[in-house]
Amino acid sequence: MNFYNQTRSSYSNRTHSASVTSADKTNEGEDGETRFGFRATDLIVYPAHGVGQIVAIEEQTVAGACLEFFVVYFAKSKMTLRVPTRKAANAGMRRLSDPVSIEHMRRILGQAPHKARGNWSRLAQEYESKINSGNIVAIAEVMRDLYRPAVNSEQSYSERQLYAAAVERLSGEVALVSGVTEEEAVKELESLIIAEVRRSA
């Protein structure tokens, strides 16, 4: 079983445990029932947390008002997040990228890195903002620009952390879209950067 199927199975097994038990409080989200472009069982990307799955659609009363939420489960971090259905799109929640977007991202990785200049604190904030944007092209730019060969000892701890975060976000989504393991996705993405490094050497 590859990562794609393992992930779908992992999310599926947690669908009911992430839902409230009261039938009148929860809409399990039948396959044909859509809320603002999303439905229960959809695999999605949430900017600050990466790939997750909508496991239920809930209604809760908050301050006397009835609000509807997507219950999103993130298997990797074992975290459940409730996102107001009306605000999901504004929060940047989106479906998995289509093959055309994935190919665009691959082309970005195959380009020469951008040599950023300036205060590292400011640059780090820019890189983090790109990672948390959920935009795979912006995340690919971070991965490309912060890549360093394994023998390179000049990369700081914060650079390594940002690079690892970018790799995790991209590989998780690419693995699901392409139907490969996450490890295979990492190797493929890094090979695109390495190829460009060798061409420029």
pLDDT score of 151: 63
Q: What is the mean pLDDT of residues 143-168?
A: 87
How far is it, in rounded angstroms, from Cα 86 to Cα 79? 21
Do 55 and 19 touch, CB atoms closer than 8 A? yes
Beta strands 79-84 and 65-74 are antiparallel
Token pair 């200049």 is at which residue?
117
Residues 76-125: tens digit of each pLDDT: 889 999 999 999 989 999 999 998 999 999 999 999 998 878 899 999 99
Residue 192 to residue 197: CA distance in whole angstroms:
9
Sole residue written with tokens 């490094």: 197
Angle 28-97-8 from CA coordinates, rounded to 5°: 45
Residues 165 and 179 sit within 8 Å (Cβ to Cβ): no
> What gap in Å lies between CA 179 and CA 190, rounded to an integer?
18
13 phi, psi to nearest 5 deg: -65, -15
Considering the chain, what percentage of its residues have pLDDT values greater than 70?
A: 82
- The yes-or-no verdict on residue 51 having pLDDT over 90 is yes
Query: What is the tens place of the pLDDT at every residue in 158-171?
Result: 999 999 999 999 99
21 DSSP 8-state letter: S
CA–CA distance, 127 with 36 (Å, rounded to integer): 30
Amino acid at 42: D
How far apart are the C-alpha atoms of 201 and 193, rounded to whole Å? 12
